[in-house]
Amino acid sequence: KLILGIETSCDDTSVALVDRSGAVAAIKTVSQYDIHEAFGGVYPELASRAHLHAILPTIQTVMTDAATTHSDLEAIAVTRGPGLIGSLLVGLSTAEALSMGWGVPAYGINHLRGHIRSAALEGGITEFPAVVMLVSGGHTLIAFLENEWSYRLLGTTRDDSVGECYDKVARTLGLGMPGGPAIDRAAARGTPVLRLPRPMKNDAYEFSFSGLKSSVARHVETHPDVSVDDMSASFVAACMDVLAAKAERALKECAPKSLVIVGGVAASAQLRETMSALVERYGVTLSLPPVKWATDNAAMIAMAAWDYVERGVQPDLMPKPNLSLETP
Ligand code: ATP
Ligand code: FE
């Protein structure tokens, strides 16, 4: 049996088929990058329209690629939040219609739980209890998971997310979009010679990144000929320092079996290295998503949905643009 995952919370239309073990039978993600590029951010109404345009053909492609019919489906899983209301509604309405037509139950899934379960895709194992760090474009948070269902938020960011900060620093340095991978590459070439602040490094589980971002901008303004590679390396070093400090605190205080790092920034080679060095010192396992599924995708939504199905959660297809981690 397979779960059909549908993800339309932001600017990617993604559809996937995933079995209980986390094997991905088929996946297709249609990017809206070209549509939003000119606006320097996601234009919500254009995003909804593009989802509407792409959703049914994408579902059809994925079902055909996996040679699947609706009788092979255990459930349909669709992101219900957090995300843009118009974008969420396209996925939710489609899932509801398919559910009625096919007689297959449809579950509304928390996008953040999707990111967290991305570490279980393609043979990935998350041992519980676990400490999870979600570092994405919209979120930066750390949580304790007693099991795959009980989430306790430890802390979150007061201002920008790490991903947002990567993107803004990339723009300041003229590296273009998407900023994360560009910064990651430039940082690998550079040396972290510039001393940048480590905001809230020692403040328990709270994060703050806007000061770091401004400090890069100020430095570039006063030193226009600064090396982009060295600046990127210095910026990444500051981010790594803060993230590692928070993760280390949680490893000490929560004594988990594994550390789970998910979200778009989990694609960063530096972050993967930093965290594997950390877990080695504490004797816990590191659980990471495959790099290609660190950013938004429907496979992680389908993966998370298996937990919902097995817990007997009441399916709920109401959109929740501000859904928090603790609510399914
Ligand atoms: P959320 O899930 O919080 O609503 P999102 O889904 O928009 O946010 P993701 O798709 O998980 O965010 O991640 C996008 C972010 O990841 C972007 O900010 C991007 O710059 C960053 N990112 C992607 N690849 C890398 C990389 N290799 N190194 C660092 N950052 C990266
Ligand atoms: Fe996301």
Burial of 100 (0-12, 13-18, 19+ CB in 10 A): exposed
174-213: pLDDT as tens digits: 998 789 999 999 999 999 999 999 999 999 999 999 999 9
d(CA 207, CA 34): 32
229 is in an annotated binding site: no
Ligand 1 atom nearest to 269, measured from its CA:
27
> Which range among 142-146, 148-152, 280-284 shows the weakest confidence by mean pLDDT?
148-152
Tokens of 14: 């993604």
Find out whether the beta carbon of 178 lies less than 6 Å from any atom of ligand 1: yes
In contact, 323 and 111? CB cutoff 8 Å = yes
Residue in the block written with tokens 């690998």:
188
Question: If you measure from the C-alpha of residue 245 to the centroid of ligand 1, how many angstroms do you get, rounded to a whole number?
Answer: 21
ipTM score for this prediction: 0.98
Beta-carbon neighbour count of residue 98 at 10 Å? 20
Measured CA to CA in angstroms, residue 96 lies from 82, 108, 237, 296, 322 at distances of 18, 10, 45, 21, 21
Check residue 41 and give its pLDDT.
Answer: 84
Check residue 176 and give its pLDDT.
Answer: 81
263 is in an annotated binding site: no
Ligand 1 atom nearest to 167, measured from its CA:
20
184 is in an annotated binding site: yes
Spatial CB neighbours of 5, under 8 Å, sequence gap ≥ 6: 14, 15, 16, 17, 18, 77, 78, 109, 298, 299, 300, 301, 302, 303, 305
134 is in an annotated binding site: yes
Question: If you measure from the C-alpha of residue 135 to the centroid of ligand 2, how many angstroms do you get, rounded to a whole number?
Answer: 9
Question: If you measure from the C-alpha of residue 9 to the centroid of ligand 2, how many angstroms do you get, rounded to a whole number?
Answer: 8
Q: Which residue, by CA, sits nearest to atom 20 of ligand 1?
A: 180
272-284: pLDDT as tens digits: 999 999 999 999 9
Mutate to test the pocket of ligand 1, among 11, 111, 135, 166 (most ligand atoms within 8 A of CB): 166
Mutate to test the pocket of ligand 1, among 139, 296, 324 (most ligand atoms within 8 A of CB): 296
